[in-house]
Structure 1
Amino acid sequence: DRPADLLFFTTLGCHLCEQAEQMLGSVAHSQRAELAVDVIDIADDAALVETYGIRIPVFKRVCDDVELGWPFGEEQLVHFLAGAVDVYKAGETT
């Protein structure tokens, strides 16, 4: 297993989070991107609830700590993910 490319801050019962997760799957598939995603339930941590409670769903790139919070569309997500994929590909050894 390789380290996560992306963190996904979410919680149970978050309808927008479900939409964002489906969008991520669709975009990753269409871009042929293989991303390792760690799903983080903010309900388990008071500090995360404070930080992300009203902003979820939020994706965070591990490579540079850049965040993409709701609302966002597929085009924004494609551009956001491109940064994570480029960093991963740059680190690959052939």
Structure 2
Amino acid sequence: MADWVLYQRDYCHLCDMALAVLAEARAPDFDSVWVDDSQELEERYGARVPVLRDLRSGRELDWPFDADKVSRWIHANGR
């Protein structure tokens, strides 16, 4: 299991854009979790997706973000 999760939706153009940004930022391996599959996640993230979450610290990065912002955010805790 990765230390990072990208919460997203099926057929979400913003989520597709977020995936491209994460690739550009050379983000570490992450898991994708679709909020459509869970009522709890839908309630928490439904209006916010895509959201990148650090599972170790609980920090979350809401869209919009660019490659620079992702890199700074990932390395903020010395990773």
Tell me how far apart the structure 1 counterparts of residues 24 and 76 of structure 2 sit (CA, whole Å): 17
1:74 CA displacement: 2.1
Can you give the 5+ residue segments of structure 1 that lack an aligned partner in the other structure? 87-94
Could you tell me how far apart the structure 1 residues matched to 2:76 and 2:56 are?
A: 8
Is the helix fraction higher in 1 or 2?
Answer: 1
| TM-score, scaled relative to structure 2 | 0.89
Aligned-pair distance for 1:49?
Answer: 0.6
Q: 1:9, 1:84 → 2: CA distance?
A: 21
Matched-pair contact (CA < 8 Å) for 1:10–1:58: yes
The answer to whether residue 65 in structure 2 is matched with residue 67 in structure 1 is no
Count of equivalent residues = 79
The structure-2 alpha-carbon separation of the partners of 1:83 and 1:4, relative to structure 1 and needing over 3 Å to count, comes to farther
**1:44 and 1:84 mapped to 2: Cα distance?**
30
Q: What CA RMSD, in Å, does the superposition of the two structures yield over aligned residues?
A: 1.6
Q: What are the ranges of 5 or more consecutive residues in structure 2 without an aligned counterpart?
A: none
Q: Detail structure 1 runs of 4+ shifted over 4 Å in the superposition.
A: none
SS of equivalent to 2:74 = helix
CA displacement 1:17-56 (0-9 Å, x = unmatched): 000001101111xxxx5x2211000000011011101100
TM-score (norm 1): 0.76
> Following superposition of structure 1 onto structure 2, how do residues 9-88 of structure 1 map, counting pairs within 5 Å?
9-28=7-26, 35-83=28-76, 86=79
Q: Quote the sequence identity (%).
A: 29
Q: In structure 1, what is the Cα distance between the partners aligned to 2:36 and 2:23?
A: 23
Rg bigger for which structure? 1
